[in-house]
Structure 1
Amino acid sequence: MTTPLDTPERRYRMLRLIRGFEELALTLVRSGVITGGIHPYIGQEAVAVGVCSALGDGDRLTSTHRGHGHVLARGADPRRLLAELAGRVDGLNQGRGGSMHAADLSLGILGANGIVGAGAPIAVGAAWAARQAGEDRVAVAFFGDGALNQGVLLESLNLAAMWRLPVVFVCENNGYATTLPAATAVAGSALGRAAAFGIPAAEVDGMDTEAVRSAAEEAVGRARAGGGPAFLECRTYRFEGHHTMERRMKLRYRTPEEVSGWRARDPLLRAAEAIGAARGEALDAEVAAELAEAERFALASEHPDPAGALDHLYADGTRPRAGAVA
């Protein structure tokens, strides 16, 4: 069962948890505990919290390469998610999924995905399976603006519309596909993509948790009632680079003025105002203690035994035949 995000205090706490988790993960990348780097979600927290606050216990979601926020907002244990990022056996997926493929099927988290747009057809499949089984479930597919030109997303929109499946497509438009401005790469618009398939769509302030929540509740409610798919374009911004490697590469594709302008719209600041300074400080202290325990847990967990590297390749446990893998 997921923890409900049904009050402003709980939503603020989750925003702070995601922000603190990502800041801790950045520290562990720099120290070498997390190898390979991560795609930080800092700045976009309102989208994950707003959307997930509108979901029920049985609903499913698919995520992206920038997926820690979605996974946490859906209720995953931050200790086990951090252990997963660090490649430890106590991770959500025994250290095998890492940052870009974390999943928790018990919570309906069908996985982050390193392939741009690839979560959309999985969400459509989950919605179709729920329909076939007579289950009251909605599926949500998160993706970025870089997925708007991917054929697999358009195919998913088409199928969901044709079969009137209970899917909510959530585009986190942070303005950049890696370093490429969306304005120079996307003909038409995100909402236009949805309109072409007859899917109801709305543009939302993705820096405002309550605005996202309101739009998500309407979209999820319509899908659950049999009204078919919906599409949300959440205008948001990542405060950090596309990937932690960016600092080392010293890329310069955004001006300091642009970044500071978006930072002034930090979703945590708006959410903090709604609950008051004293309550906010108390929740911050709770989250700090929770993250300290998550770090202790992750660092105490063992690395997987290399002898088991070929385990879990098949659902039934079958291993590759001898000599099939060099």
Structure 2
Amino acid sequence: MKNQNMLKRIVSNQLFIPIIALLILTLINLINDPSFFKITLVTNNAGNPMLSGSLITILDFGSELGILAIGMTLVTAASGGQDISVGATIAIAGSAMLRILCGKEAHPETIQAPIILAFLVACLVGMACGLFNGTLVAVFKIQPMIATLILFTAGRSIGAWINHNQLPIVPDPKFAYFGGVIPGIPIPTTVFIVIACIIVMALILKFTNLGLYTQAVGINEKSARLNGINPTAIKILSFVILGLCVAVAALIKVSRLSTINYSVIAKDIEMDAILAVALGGNALSGGKFNMWASILGAYVIQFLTTTLYKFDVQSDALAAYKAVVVIILVVFSAPTVREGCSKLVKKLSPARKEAA
């Protein structure tokens, strides 16, 4: 009985499915190519030493997805819907950042403003986009996916308009540190950025009622209002926080190349962010959430992407392969499936005792 209860607690834990998925992907790569886990020290184009390998790639590019998963989890929990405009908003925030850094010239000899100022502007732009989406959802009662479809459709064009359809290039090599490595530190800077974001969010959830209020609004908006919670403010705040996460992701994305391609940057990243939330076992209809499961889900998604590339899957077919695998994982992470597994364990346990 004790073992049965322990097994039930393990299976019902939200971290169970993403951890199992992580173990399966690890096993597949160990069997197929053990060198997948090899980490070497190399020199990048700037002459700086950096760690290289598939695991480093997962940590590096999974960081952007992990940051977005933080905001997407809050939006999903509070509104019962998802923001499909984060990729386009990255284009807007990134373009605004480049506008500040490069000024009116597409190829200036020096940056025209401090990097910190450009980043703050990107944060304001990202939060403004979040405020726009949140207002449509919370005030005008538009379904989140429909409300965010506006920026999803127009966002990349807005980004191109900000810089007159030019592709500005940041001349300062220090700007590339945010998406690369800091000289003397071989670990990707993105790892430190996502750790900082996780720490900030952990402190917010621990010392404020944001998590409690968000779950209350997502579970029952009317009851939350009767208990003195303002559902409109909570929903808008969740979208604004996601906008802030988008700005951080935009900093990383633009920093990687010191420029921007409006039509390609962060393409389909909103789908991966939503899948990360779902893979973490969070109900896409809103309510109770587990932030850490979403972040782990983001790295599982990146692990899956890197694994598919390792198997020489063509980039145009990558989405199809990923969709099949992710659908399986999400189905197994559904509460109904978990309950079914728990009932099956209960039925099998008496049978085992009788056999004994």
**TM-score for both structures, normalised by structure 2:** 0.25
**Which structure has the higher relative contact order (CA within 8 Å, separation 6+)?**
2
More helix by share: 2
Higher strand share: 1
Whose radius of gyration is greater, 1 or 2? 2
* TM-score scaled by length of structure 1: 0.27
